[in-house]
A and B are shown apart, each in its own frame.
Chain A
Amino acid sequence: MLNNIFLFETKRWFTSWTFYIYCTLFFSLAFLTMAIALGYFDVLGTTTSSNTYANSPMAINGILNDLSWLVYFIVPTVIGATVYRDFKYNVHTILYSYPFTKFDYLVGKFLSGFFITILITISMGFAFFLATILPFANPDLIGPIHIGAYFQSYFLFVIPNIFFIGTILFALVTLSRNVSAGVILVFILFVSQILISSLTNNIDDKYWAALFEPYGSEALSYITKYWTIDEQNTNSIPFSDIVVYNRLIWIGFSLLVFIGLYFSFSFSQSPISFSRKKKGERLTKNNFGSIMKLNLPKVNFDYSFIQNLKSTWNLSRFELSSILKNWIFITILIILMLFVVGSGYTLGQEIYGSKTFPVTWKVLDTLDLFLSFFVFISIALFSGILLQNSTTSRMNLLVDSTPIPNWVLFISKVIALIKMTVLFLLVGMISCILIQIFYGYYNFEFGIYFKSLFVYDLIGYIIVILFAMFIQSLFKNYLVGFITLIVFMLVKQFFFRFGIEQQIYHFNSGSIGGYSDMNGFGTTRTFFIYKAYWFLFTLVLSCFTLLLWRRGIISGLKERLSIAKKRLNVKIIIPMFIFLFGFIGIGYAIYWHNNIMEPYYSAKETELQQVEFEQKYKKFEKYPQPRITDVNVEMNIFPYEYNYDATVKYIVQNKSDKPIDSIFINYGKNLKYIKFSKANTLVSKDTLYDFNIYKLTQALQPGETMNVEFKVQNQPNTFLAVRSGVIENGTFINNGIFPSFGYSDGFEIADNDVRKKYGLPNKERMAEVDDMEARQNTYISNEADWINFETTVSTAADQIAIAPGYLQKEWEKDGRKYFHYKMDQKMLNFYAFNSGRYEVRKENKDGVNFEIYYHKGHEVNIERMMNAMQKSIAYYSENFSPYQHKQARIIEFPRTMGTFAQAFANTMPFSEGFGFIADIDEDNPNAVDYPFSVVSHEMAHQWWAHQVIGAAVKGATLMSESVSEYSSLMVLQERYGKSQMRKFLKDALDNYLQGRTFEWKSENPLMYNENQQYIHYNKGSLVLYAISDYIGEKNFNNALKDYVSAVAFQEAPYTNSIEFVRYIEKATPDSLKYLIKDMFETITLYDNKVNKVTSKKLPNGNYLVEIDFNVAKYRAGKDNKKIFKDENGKTLVFGSGKTKVESLPLQDYIEIGIFGEPTKQDKYELENELYLKKYKIDKINNKVQIEVKEKPMEVGVDPYNKLIDTDSFDNRKKIKN
């Protein structure tokens, strides 16, 4: 019988058109996804390039599982509804009297749905496969074809996950007899999956998350998290323990659900309902044969427009109440609230374990993650439900024959949806406030909540509502409309790949830049214009909605259209044309602005321009150009007009040994004029690439100087856009807006695959470390060495303007403020201008002026930053060299310009987005005082960049960023002791290991890094901290001191990492020289591990600890392939088979540590280090015996993660007593 049921059901699917629609839909979607990844559409958009293969086993598995989520949304109808369908069509009363068992029935039904779902997902795998073998792909993006990968992915993840989701939905829909309940459950699972991954992000050891996350993706990433590009490309999906356990757990769980269903399902049952049964009441009739008189009271009927408006409002209440009573709505609302509060729990712990105050914009950002998603699905769903409301309850004929105009019905439903949205926003706001209260933060900024949610967000949602109403009005079945809307939103994401780039074509485009305490919401004109444009568009659609409004009985499309034609009268045509003209008018204005006022270049065209620019001008790259020696800037900032202009005077000098006869100027659209003090002619003018060539009548002789003067002024702001970069409060612009000398390779295409396509030679990100030509420039500027700097900055009367240098004079003229700054000594050609309404905190210590320019209300960490500046200067002056300036300034700038800090000469702009609002708990050993450490880092740049500056070759940032990280760690350690080091280094290690998995070119050793952040920050801090620890802080700092005194303020050729490392090598004893090779010259990774540990109490009261541990290391070769053999072919091996461990030969010093019962300090536990010593290790497996005085709890090999270790969790082991 089971067989029959299965076959019958399956046959039914094969003859149903929905099955083929599903297959086609998912096939196309999968094909499209893969085709985009493989560069099918490169003709239309920019060239796709990647160094990972789109069809590697991991990639296939990744996209397959992502797309499977879309399949899960049809599971409620495919698997869930098989039993429900029998109820719906009332077959069950007949069917259940047939002779089959419950088992046959349930299993047969389930299996057929399960089988059909699998077939549908197989269409996706097939689409991937087809996309990879068709000849349209870019062959560089395809790796070898792994048929096995498809099977692995299906059998390990896709099918078990369908089984899991399928059983739950089967049980839910069968018992509740409600398909919508199933769809909502999928939504819940979908969003909770996102939440799970964001929650587990902050957990250190993800073992348990990996074991119990239902879809196996955590388990997989537990294994593959640190996989390098090469591993990602070639390895197959790991069939490891944790993945298998995870799968078994969830298959088991699914079986339990099924068994549960088996026992609770009965053929004669009524659906499960959660409401309480009302008390029974016997009903009798007593209305026999009475005769009455009909005498209706006189009432007034009012069909006026005003009354209709009133009715619209009243009816919207009625419509709203039908939404509010809908339990789907209630579920969505509750889940939204849970999610927001749940995600609020992890809020702001992202920076080295320290919290950020839950300021309003921060909680709003968290809310936004979920809110837009929830509101969109609710609008998409309830627009349909409301439209079909009367039809669904078969009341439509009653309603349709009343004298209520269609527009009243339409607008009342729109208003109801707007009210629903407002309710969501209110709930969102309350959730946000709850988060703030939870963190004890009581500064509720209702104004920001209101503007952000009920003005900016709501406008966008109203546009979505009108759009959704239009789409839904086309369909009789609101689920079809719903899915259409979802698919529309998905397809929208692909527009860009097809070359549809301009905002004007992206439905509901226009967004607010984000809120900044300093600058509010910024300029909103672009937002409002785009929203007006889309609002008018949806109003035009709304006219169609009204024309096509379903009223009465309509037999088909033809009749609908003829009714629409009949409705087409002046009352609707006039507004429709007004909206249409408005829409086209604004649309044309935007189009004109973006395409005609100035030509628009698509991403594809830009790519081609990059190629042409390089081909045309690269030949001038090596022409010597005069170098800037003196800079005098007259900068005028107009914050309230969003304008700037600047008149700049340079003195330039020919520092080469050949005469210079041609000047190459690379400029922006803001250049008004440029003049040279020597006679010249403009020989080539290129306004497309903004590249001009001037020929000097008399060449500039070696050593000769010349004056250059130019003026820049921002392009005028337009109705649509502010084009100056100037903002009302907190302007921050740097000298990048000025024209530059010579050819700059910054515009060139960097990706070698793309370069190959256009026949350009391969390009390294930076020149070789010993390239003498490249060493003529610093990595900061290729048009100057050290400059003399002077500037006058003017701004609005209520603002302070700041630039590098010392304030000479400050005055007011014509309602504007002027500040004259002058630097007393040479500095890098790298400066910025800030202007804002600042509060100022000043202190003078040891002859240095410390100043912090901050936004009112951001006082909380000012002391901390002040302290950090002073402590830094003290440490660096003592250990490296004297501070070259007499002042140090921190200037806050709005988060909308970025979340970073930057160091100019004695001037450090610092974003409001992190340090200023950090909630630092100084006692917490697991939270780094990052405002302190960031300030120390920027202060360190005054030495490591502004005194010592590397040449523009590989490894340059080792001497700036890495050493600054090290320096700030030393200051931090001095202030807080070692406790904060561990958290910092652990995060650095994790970031480094993850960073290398995203490398898009190739990973270089530290001393040859090419400005890669994960190397120069994360690895750099680890390596320098470790070296300093191994050879001694004093010793290491002395090496730095020697290096500084040798190279500080040098002229070209500039120093490189080889010179730097030589100083360190000199300070390193022979026994530790291997560190230089491992850490600077190569990429070397350890895999250290404690295997076993025992401890016993000795008669003398001490404890004897015996530790069995492994030490192993390897080098990463090309494409990060693991290399275990040294140059002489030597290698170490321990064990065999599955437990085989390989290693490079070892002569290494490894720290062994023993820890006792943690000591308490307030509410925090501090580590209690009983023993820590470096051991010399020359083999993989080692055993040591150590006697300690206190009771040991935990041991570790390299317990502080000073070395780079691919799995830092197994470095420590608790002692079982």
Chain B
Amino acid sequence: MKLQIKGLSKTYKNGVKALDNVDLEIGTGMFGLLGPNGAGKSSLMRTISTLQSPDSGSITFGDIDVLKDQMSLRKVLGYLPQEFGVYPNMSAEKLLNYFAQLKGIASKEDRKKIIKEVLEVTNLWDVRNKSVSGYSGGMKQRFGIAQLLLNNPKLIIVDEPTAGLDPAERHRFLNVLREIGNNHTVIFSTHIVDDVRELCHELAILNGGNILYRGTPKEAEESLVGKIWMRIIERDEFDEFARNYNILSSNYNQDNTLNIRVYSDEKPHETFVEAKPQLEDVYFVALKKDRV
């Protein structure tokens, strides 16, 4: 099933253009939505999830007209917002039972069965009787995945799920997502480039409500072969380099020198060496171009 977005626009009351004529087509598999904070990722995802109405445009998922027939989409939707809470003092099992009912699982046995499975998948079985409001950040995110899975969704939307997770939690979380992504459409937004590289076979870069790039991570990296250059400079030289070259990123080394990466169609200077393009470079190039 394909998710098709056409001409989607949304302007908030305060004048911010969150979505600006977005066209996007997303097929089965993991799809990464990359963009800085405030790029419009959440707006896009909430709009797809029927939680927000756009000013114009259309969204279809398979043959569901999402904006008209919200209920049909909700039946196949699994959504995990960027930030959420739960009713206080309520165990995971109870809450999942609640969600299972909201999601239309009629029989008690069915609910029991699926709740057990999702709790095991997310490794929450042992703490199923603990109140969710007392969970750690990672556990809570996993709970979010658990509730999302209850209706065996065809379209899964997860909004910045890895923010604030420790490395182990993050890995675990991404593994679960990848597993789900095998036969569903998963849209996954993040501002962490690594997440996308590890997980997604397709991505889009979003900024200021516009899609800046759309393709596979591999294509993206290949498109920059021979255009990324790097060298080591002193801290004091940075301003001068910044003036003369198109610096994409700079990292400090242990000895207080800087590693800079520069985007240029040809070797900018003999002191630079060619570098293997990384997804991060694609991201920065896209953002830089957008600014110009």
Determine if B74 and A403 form an interchain contact, defined as CB atoms under 8 angstroms apart.
yes
Residues from chain A with a CB closer than 8 A to the CB of B136 are 283
Interface-lining segment among B103-111, B193-201, B224-232: B103-111
> Residue A301 at the B interface, CB < 8 A?
yes
> Residue A287 at the B interface, CB < 8 A?
yes
Determine if B75 and A403 form an interchain contact, defined as CB atoms under 8 angstroms apart.
yes
Determine if B172 and A552 form an interchain contact, defined as CB atoms under 8 angstroms apart.
no
> Residue B37 at the A interface, CB < 8 A?
no
Binary contact readout B178-215 vs A (1 if CB under 8 angstroms, 0 otherwise): 01101000000000000000000000000000000000
Interface-lining segment among B145-153, B253-261, B281-289: B145-153
> Residue A91 at the B interface, CB < 8 A?
no
**How far, in Å, is B30 (CB) from chain A's closest CB?**
13
Residues from chain B with a CB closer than 8 A to the CB of A325 are 89
> Residue B117 at the A interface, CB < 8 A?
yes
**How far, in Å, is A382 (CB) from chain B's closest CB?**
15
Chain B count of residues within 8 A CB distance of the other chain: 54
Determine if A552 and B52 form an interchain contact, defined as CB atoms under 8 angstroms apart.
yes
Checking A290, A297, A303, A562 against B172 with a beta-carbon cut-off of 8 angstroms, the contacting residue is A290
> Within the assembled complex, what's the spacing in Å between the Cα atoms of A395 and B95?
11
**Which B residues, 76 to 116, have Cβ-Cβ distances below 8 Å to chain A?**
77, 79, 81, 83-89, 98-99, 101-107, 110-111, 113-114
Binary contact readout A540-579 vs B (1 if CB under 8 angstroms, 0 otherwise): 0000000000011101100100110000000000000000
Checking A310, A314, A398, A404 against B79 with a beta-carbon cut-off of 8 angstroms, the contacting residue is A398
> Residue A491 at the B interface, CB < 8 A?
no
> Within the assembled complex, what's the spacing in Å between the Cα atoms of A446 and B151?
47
Determine if B13 and A301 form an interchain contact, defined as CB atoms under 8 angstroms apart.
no
> Residue B242 at the A interface, CB < 8 A?
no
> Residue B9 at the A interface, CB < 8 A?
no
Determine if B103 and A403 form an interchain contact, defined as CB atoms under 8 angstroms apart.
yes
Binary contact readout A1051-1082 vs B (1 if CB under 8 angstroms, 0 otherwise): 00000000000000000000000000000000
Residues from chain A with a CB closer than 8 A to the CB of B85 are 393-395
Determine if A297 and B114 form an interchain contact, defined as CB atoms under 8 angstroms apart.
yes
Determine if B99 and A402 form an interchain contact, defined as CB atoms under 8 angstroms apart.
yes
Determine if B46 and A552 form an interchain contact, defined as CB atoms under 8 angstroms apart.
yes
Determine if B102 and A397 form an interchain contact, defined as CB atoms under 8 angstroms apart.
no
> Residue B171 at the A interface, CB < 8 A?
yes
Residues from chain A with a CB closer than 8 A to the CB of B152 are 296, 299
> Residue A657 at the B interface, CB < 8 A?
no
Residues from chain A with a CB closer than 8 A to the CB of B169 are 287
**How far, in Å, is B175 (CB) from chain A's closest CB?**
6
Determine if A402 and B103 form an interchain contact, defined as CB atoms under 8 angstroms apart.
yes
**How far, in Å, is A548 (CB) from chain B's closest CB?**
15
Residues from chain B with a CB closer than 8 A to the CB of A322 are 87
> Residue B248 at the A interface, CB < 8 A?
no
Kindly report which residue of chain A lies nearest to residue B71, judged by CB atoms: A403
Residues from chain A with a CB closer than 8 A to the CB of B75 are 301, 303, 403
Residues from chain B with a CB closer than 8 A to the CB of A402 are 74, 99, 102-103, 151
**How far, in Å, is B5 (CB) from chain A's closest CB?**
17
Determine if A299 and B113 form an interchain contact, defined as CB atoms under 8 angstroms apart.
yes
Determine if B99 and A398 form an interchain contact, defined as CB atoms under 8 angstroms apart.
yes
Residues from chain B with a CB closer than 8 A to the CB of A303 are 71, 75, 104
Determine if B84 and A395 form an interchain contact, defined as CB atoms under 8 angstroms apart.
yes
> Residue A285 at the B interface, CB < 8 A?
yes
> Within the assembled complex, what's the spacing in Å between the Cα atoms of A553 and B54?
11
Determine if B114 and A399 form an interchain contact, defined as CB atoms under 8 angstroms apart.
no
Which of B83, B104, B169: most chain A Cβ within 10 A? B104
**Which A residues, 291 to 346, have Cβ-Cβ distances below 8 Å to chain B?**
291-297, 299-303, 307, 310-311, 314-315, 318, 322, 325
> Residue A400 at the B interface, CB < 8 A?
yes
> Within the assembled complex, what's the spacing in Å between the Cα atoms of A311 and B107?
11
Determine if A288 and B172 form an interchain contact, defined as CB atoms under 8 angstroms apart.
yes
**How far, in Å, is B83 (CB) from chain A's closest CB?**
7
Determine if A311 and B101 form an interchain contact, defined as CB atoms under 8 angstroms apart.
yes
Residues from chain A with a CB closer than 8 A to the CB of B77 are 401, 403
Residues from chain B with a CB closer than 8 A to the CB of A551 are 51
> Residue A609 at the B interface, CB < 8 A?
no
**How far, in Å, is A712 (CB) from chain B's closest CB?**
65
> Within the assembled complex, what's the spacing in Å between the Cα atoms of A311 and B117?
22
Determine if B104 and A552 form an interchain contact, defined as CB atoms under 8 angstroms apart.
no
Determine if B51 and A300 form an interchain contact, defined as CB atoms under 8 angstroms apart.
no
Determine if A300 and B180 form an interchain contact, defined as CB atoms under 8 angstroms apart.
no
> Residue A715 at the B interface, CB < 8 A?
no
> Within the assembled complex, what's the spacing in Å between the Cα atoms of A295 and B99?
19
Checking A395, A398, A405, A555 against B71 with a beta-carbon cut-off of 8 angstroms, the contacting residue is A405
Determine if A297 and B117 form an interchain contact, defined as CB atoms under 8 angstroms apart.
yes
> Within the assembled complex, what's the spacing in Å between the Cα atoms of A290 and B173?
10
Determine if B175 and A291 form an interchain contact, defined as CB atoms under 8 angstroms apart.
yes
> Residue A599 at the B interface, CB < 8 A?
no
> Residue A1135 at the B interface, CB < 8 A?
no
Binary contact readout A394-429 vs B (1 if CB under 8 angstroms, 0 otherwise): 110111111111000000000000000000000000
Checking A285, A299, A315, A559 against B110 with a beta-carbon cut-off of 8 angstroms, the contacting residue is A299
Residues from chain B with a CB closer than 8 A to the CB of A293 are 179
Asked, given contacts A398-B147, A401-B50, whether A300 binds B107 with beta carbons under 8 Å apart, the answer is yes
Asked, given contacts A297-B113, A299-B110, A315-B101, whether A394 binds B84 with beta carbons under 8 Å apart, the answer is yes
Which of B12, B51, B71: most chain A Cβ within 10 A? B51
Residues from chain B with a CB closer than 8 A to the CB of A280 are none
**How far, in Å, is A490 (CB) from chain B's closest CB?**
33
Residues from chain A with a CB closer than 8 A to the CB of B106 are 300-302, 307, 310
> Residue B121 at the A interface, CB < 8 A?
yes
> Within the assembled complex, what's the spacing in Å between the Cα atoms of A406 and B250?
51
Residues from chain B with a CB closer than 8 A to the CB of A291 are 175, 179
Checking B99, B103, B133, B180 against A301 with a beta-carbon cut-off of 8 angstroms, the contacting residue is B103
Determine if A318 and B81 form an interchain contact, defined as CB atoms under 8 angstroms apart.
no
**How far, in Å, is A394 (CB) from chain B's closest CB?**
3
Determine if A318 and B98 form an interchain contact, defined as CB atoms under 8 angstroms apart.
yes
Residues from chain B with a CB closer than 8 A to the CB of A404 are 101-104
> Residue A389 at the B interface, CB < 8 A?
yes
Determine if A296 and B117 form an interchain contact, defined as CB atoms under 8 angstroms apart.
yes
> Residue A1099 at the B interface, CB < 8 A?
no
> Within the assembled complex, what's the spacing in Å between the Cα atoms of A292 and B171?
13
Asked, given contacts A393-B87, A402-B102, whether A294 binds B110 with beta carbons under 8 Å apart, the answer is no
Kindly report which residue of chain B lies nearest to residue A292, judged by CB atoms: B121
> Within the assembled complex, what's the spacing in Å between the Cα atoms of A931 and B151?
73
Checking A295, A307, A555 against B12 with a beta-carbon cut-off of 8 angstroms, the contacting residue is A555
**How far, in Å, is B84 (CB) from chain A's closest CB?**
6
Kindly report which residue of chain A lies nearest to residue B10, judged by CB atoms: A555
Kindly report which residue of chain B lies nearest to residue A325, judged by CB atoms: B89
Binary contact readout B41-52 vs A (1 if CB under 8 angstroms, 0 otherwise): 000001001111
> Residue B247 at the A interface, CB < 8 A?
no
> Within the assembled complex, what's the spacing in Å between the Cα atoms of A315 and B103?
12
Asked, given contacts A288-B172, A290-B172, A563-B53, whether A393 binds B103 with beta carbons under 8 Å apart, the answer is no
> Within the assembled complex, what's the spacing in Å between the Cα atoms of A304 and B211?
39
Binary contact readout B135-156 vs A (1 if CB under 8 angstroms, 0 otherwise): 0100000001001010110000
> Residue B4 at the A interface, CB < 8 A?
no
Determine if B79 and A395 form an interchain contact, defined as CB atoms under 8 angstroms apart.
no
Checking B53, B79, B111, B133 against A559 with a beta-carbon cut-off of 8 angstroms, the contacting residue is B53
**How far, in Å, is B160 (CB) from chain A's closest CB?**
13
Asked, given contacts A395-B85, A555-B12, whether A292 binds B179 with beta carbons under 8 Å apart, the answer is yes
> Within the assembled complex, what's the spacing in Å between the Cα atoms of A299 and B49?
23
> Within the assembled complex, what's the spacing in Å between the Cα atoms of A916 and B203?
88
A-B contact pairs, 24 of them (CB 8 A): A287-B169, A288-B172, A292-B121, A294-B149, A294-B179, A300-B107, A301-B75, A302-B104, A394-B83, A394-B84, A397-B81, A397-B84, A402-B74, A402-B103, A403-B75, A404-B101, A404-B103, A404-B104, A552-B50, A552-B52, A552-B53, A553-B51, A556-B13, A562-B53
Q: What 5 A-B pairs are tightest by C-beta distance, nearest first?
A: A394-B85, A552-B51, A299-B110, A403-B74, A302-B106
Binding site for A on B (CB under 8 A): 12-13, 46, 49-53, 71, 74-75, 77, 79, 81, 83-89, 98-99, 101-107, 110-111, 113-114, 117-118, 121, 123, 133, 136, 144, 147, 149, 151-152, 168-169, 171-172, 175-176, 179-180, 182
